[in-house]
């Protein structure tokens, strides 16, 4: 049998097997008539290992044999195949986020003062982990509390060019639940302003913008 | 090819079907697998165990399949079946099965009745005036045979499609870390604003927080400036401005500096009139530790 | 993001996934910040497809998306990884499957009508268990029999992108002239066959089609 054929069979077997394959296991795929030596299989493995250079996968030898595996470098993207969504954020978190956006730079104590209740550390952690808020400085008072502000990622997520595109506090106070008017919003999301819906300029069309990559969960 | 003369010649006569003779077989196809061995032909002079014959019977997928076999074996055109001859062969086969005391599916007997009926109608003299109107008595059977045959063929075609497990398998690579990534939930801006409205209403009720109208870009810039001053060192006033932002950007930065000063978050220093102005955060991370 | 990185991520994801991946699923692996267009992913798929030339595996598109699979040419060797595996299906099962595939939605009774024999419950069970067919509705006649249709898994299993790719069905021929054919049937008398002979010559094409394929064990 030609070396190229041996290499292709070894390659396909390694990809098809559910576990790592040892040299004897690979040799067992061939019959006497194929006249395949262990050296030829070793050569195949060497060739395949080299062939992975510059690819998203690699051929490695582990304790129980050879296997193809996903390279570490691309793992963060591949891992999204098994991602799952967490449950919705609490009202407390949304209030905290909104206050940071509108009153930044603001300390946790100041947020608590407006909300009238404490802000749990986990809420701040979640917002920091999501990279929507960060510490921008410290207030020069006893305890030197951290001052929080919003980030560029926060603006990007809500498709805003700047915070000015958020409605003013005065406007927010007047909004009624069903029809939240948001003049600046239309400017922020030109795509959302469908020609068929002229009132899109004045109504919130955010959901379509804010959740684009949440709709296709590969898991 | 098939001609009518062939069809009436006893090329495939009934004795075929008598036990001890050559049993029905589909061209060169093995009739069945008995203990893994293909059975191409039943030994003529040997006793056939009943279960072997049963296997042969199972080689047919019902009466339509058996009829098709009888027709094809003699290279007959399906549109032109010699009903009398085919019926005789079919009956012989059924008879053999009976003789072997094999359980025969009811469908085989129903087909026998249909064939007998067609044969009798063909034998009846037709009134001349009705000749053109009356349908060929075989038409319905021919239609069913063709319909069955096309799906028999379709099944064979599907069987030849390259398929998983037999002709291919998926190729997969191991993923070292397969733990599930938790994606944060989506947030609707409107929801966040409604949350803020509620907070504001609560704050208004408690009465000690008055929220004025102000450009939010100034608030945003305040954070940005604070971060730049986060090292605790003095920064030149001019270095905080980004000329590329234009006049509006300069105004926003200036207003943010005033706000920061008013809020005692920064110190502004000038050693002498017209000298360089320096700014510094009043508190930094290091100082906080 | 560089095209090479995109290609490597797509490659690794296809190898890591348990089932075929669609273009939107692949796009969902990337974040906005990666700035990856659908065109870039298509280019990656094209590049990967071409890259399989001369290898033991290939990248194919089936109904549910793209997947890597073992090439048919090397599969006989690879299949030795699994000593016992059911890869043959009875004629009864294949005929039932063919009727459901070509005639869907179809009831069990309608299948039996065409096949001329009963369809055993175990065949329907096997087809449902393999997720090749499923109940798609019920016919509004007494007894409300279930209507069966094929699934995407059926197409995937048989390497098909859509039902259109199934082999075309043979045509039904009509008995042209009752008198001629009746005359031919009375074939006991050779004279009577004369007029119909040319007709028969041109239409007898069936045997050539019906026999050569049946090389496999019907059991």
> Is the domain of C64 the same as that of C106?
no
Does residue C178 lie within any of the structural domains? yes
> Is the domain of C23 the same as that of C39?
yes
Q: How far is CA B251 from CA A82, B41, B267, B283, in A?
A: 47, 100, 19, 25
Does residue A177 lie within any of the structural domains? yes
Mapped to the 3 state alphabet, what secondary structure does chain B carry?
CCCHHHHHCCCCCHHHHCCCCCCCCCCCCCCEEECCEEECCCCCCCCCCHHHHHHHHHCCCCHHHHHHHHHHHCCCCHHHCCHHHHHHHHHHHHHHHHHCCCCCCHHHHHHHHHHHHHHHHHHCCCCHHHCCCCCCCCHHHHHHHHHHHHHHHHHHHHHHCCCECCCECECCCECCCCCCCEECCCCCHHHHHHHHHHHHHHHHHHCCCCCCCCCHHHHHHHHHHHHHHHHCCCEEHHHHCCHHHHHHHHHHHHHHHHHHHHCCCEEEEECCCCCCEEEEECCCHHHHC
Q: Reply yes or no on whether the pLDDT at A103 is more than 50.
A: yes
pTM of the predicted structure, to 2 decimals: 0.63
Domain boundary, last residue among C43, C62, C81 = C81
Does residue A209 lie within any of the structural domains? no
Instruction: Inform me whether the C-beta atom of residue B55 falls under 8 Å from chain C C-beta atoms.
Output: yes
> Is the domain of A74 the same as that of A104?
no
> Is the domain of C17 the same as that of C109?
no
> Is the domain of C137 the same as that of C97?
yes
Nearest CA in chain B to C95: B155
pLDDT band, very low/low/confident/very high, at B53 (cuts 50, 70, 90): low
Convert the pLDDT of each residue in B121-142 to its tens digit.
Answer: 888 776 665 555 567 788 889 9
Chain A residues closer than 8 Å to C73 by CB: 8
| Nearest-neighbour CA in chain C from A31: distance (Å) | 9
Q: What pLDDT shows up at residue B13?
A: 37
> Is the domain of C73 the same as that of C91?
no
Q: What pLDDT shows up at residue B20?
A: 40
Domain boundary, last residue among A66, A81, A96 = A81
Q: What pLDDT shows up at residue B92?
A: 85
Instruction: Inform me whether the C-beta atom of residue B63 falls under 8 Å from chain C C-beta atoms.
Output: yes
| Nearest-neighbour CA in chain B from A82: distance (Å) | 5
Domain boundary, last residue among C25, C57, C81 = C81
**Chains touching C (3+ CB pairs < 8 Å):** A, B
**ipTM, interface predicted TM-score of the complex:** 0.65
> Is the domain of A74 the same as that of A93?
no
- A 40-69 near B (Cβ less than 8 A): 57, 67-69
pLDDT in tens, chain C (219 residues): 899 999 999 999 999 998 999 999 999 999 877 889 999 999 999 999 999 999 999 999 999 999 999 999 999 999 999 988 878 999 999 999 999 999 999 999 999 999 999 999 999 999 999 999 999 999 999 999 999 999 999 999 999 999 999 999 988 887 765 554 454 444 444 443 333 333 333 333 333 333 333 333 443
Does residue C162 lie within any of the structural domains? yes
Does residue C49 lie within any of the structural domains? yes
Which range of B28-42, B90-104, B254-268, C202-216 scores highest in mean pLDDT? It is: B254-268
Nearest CA in chain A to C48: A55
CB A219, CB A82: distance < 8 Å:
yes
Does residue C212 lie within any of the structural domains? no
- Mean pLDDT in residue range B92-112: 79
- B 159-218 near A (Cβ less than 8 A): 169-204, 206, 209, 211-213, 215-217
> Is the domain of C114 the same as that of C191?
yes
Least confident window among A46-55, A111-120, C182-191: C182-191
> Is the domain of A178 the same as that of A100?
yes
Q: Which domain covers residue A192, as residue numbers?
A: 87-204
Task: Report the CATH number at residue C24.
Answer: 1.10.10.10
Choose between C217 and A5: higher pLDDT.
A5
Distance spanning both ends of chain B, measured CA to CA:
101
> Is the domain of C32 the same as that of C93?
no
Q: What's the rounded Cα separation, in Å, for the pair A199 and A184? A: 13
How many domains does chain A divide into? 2
Instruction: Inform me whether the C-beta atom of residue C53 falls under 8 Å from chain A C-beta atoms.
Output: no
> Is the domain of C184 the same as that of C112?
yes
Kindly determine whether residue C9 and residue A77, on different chains, have CB atoms separated by under 8 Å: yes
Q: Reply yes or no on whether the pLDDT at A36 is more than 80.
A: yes
| Nearest-neighbour CA in chain B from C66: distance (Å) | 11
SS3 C174: coil
């Amino acid at each position: 049998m030609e070396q190229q054929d041996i290499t292709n069979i070894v390659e396909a077997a390694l990809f098809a097997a559910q576990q790592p394959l040892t040299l004897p296991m690979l040799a067992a795929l061939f019959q006497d008539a194929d006249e395949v030596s262990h050296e030829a299989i070793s050569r195949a493995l060497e060739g395949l290992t080299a062939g992975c250079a510059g690819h998203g996968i690699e051929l490695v030898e582990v304790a129980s044999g050879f296997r193809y595996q996903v390279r570490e470098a691309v793992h963060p993207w591949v891992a999204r195949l098994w991602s799952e969504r967490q449950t919705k954020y609490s009202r407390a978190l949304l209030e905290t986020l909104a206050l940071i956006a509108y009153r930044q730079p603001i300390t946790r104590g100041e947020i608590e003062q407006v909300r009238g209740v404490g802000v749990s550390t986990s809420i701040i952690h979640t917002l920091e982990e999501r990279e929507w808020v960060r510490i921008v400085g410290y207030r020069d008072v006893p305890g030197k509390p951290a001052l929080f502000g919003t980030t560029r990622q926060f603006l990007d997520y809500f498709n805003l060019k700047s915070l000015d595109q958020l409605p003013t506090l005065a406007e927010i106070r007047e909004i009624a639940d069903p029809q939240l008017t948001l003049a600046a919003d239309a400017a922020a999301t030109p795509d959302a302003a469908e020609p068929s819906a002229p009132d899109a300029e004045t109504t919130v069309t955010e959901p379509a913008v804010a959740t684009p990559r949440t709709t296709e969960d590969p898991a | 090819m098939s001609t009518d003369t062939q069809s009436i010649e006893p090329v495939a006569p009934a004795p075929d079907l008598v036990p001890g003779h050559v049993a029905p077989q589909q061209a060169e196809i093995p009739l069945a697998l008995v203990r893994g061995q293909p059975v191409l032909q039943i030994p003529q002079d040997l006793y056939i165990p009943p279960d072997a014959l049963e296997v042969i019977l199972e080689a047919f997928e019902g009466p339509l399949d058996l009829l098709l076999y009888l027709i094809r074996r003699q290279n007959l055109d399906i549109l032109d079946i010699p009903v009398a001859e085919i019926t005789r062969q079919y009956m012989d086969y059924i008879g053999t099965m009976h003789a072997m005391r094999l359980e025969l599916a009811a469908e085989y007997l129903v087909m026998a009745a249909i064939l007998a009926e067609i044969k009798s109608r063909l034998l009846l003299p037709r009134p001349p005036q009705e000749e053109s109107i009356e349908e060929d008595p075989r038409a319905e059977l021919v239609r069913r045979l063709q319909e069955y045959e096309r799906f028999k063929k379709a099944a064979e075609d599907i069987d030849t499609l390259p398929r998983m497990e037999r002709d291919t398998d998926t190729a997969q690579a191991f993923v070292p870390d397969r733990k599930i990534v938790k994606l944060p939930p989506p947030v609707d801006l409107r929801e966040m604003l409604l949350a803020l409205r509620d907070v504001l209403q609560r704050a208004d009720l408690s009465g000690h927080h008055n929220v004025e109208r102000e450009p939010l870009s100034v608030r945003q810039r305040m954070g940005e400036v604070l971060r730049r001053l986060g090292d605790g060192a003095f920064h030149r006033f001019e270095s905080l401005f980004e000329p590329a932002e234009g006049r509006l950007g300069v105004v926003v930065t200036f207003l943010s500096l005033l706000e920061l000063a008013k809020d005692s978050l920064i110190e502004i220093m000038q050693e002498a009139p017209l000298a360089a102005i320096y700014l510094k955060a009043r508190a930094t991370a290091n100082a906080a530790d």
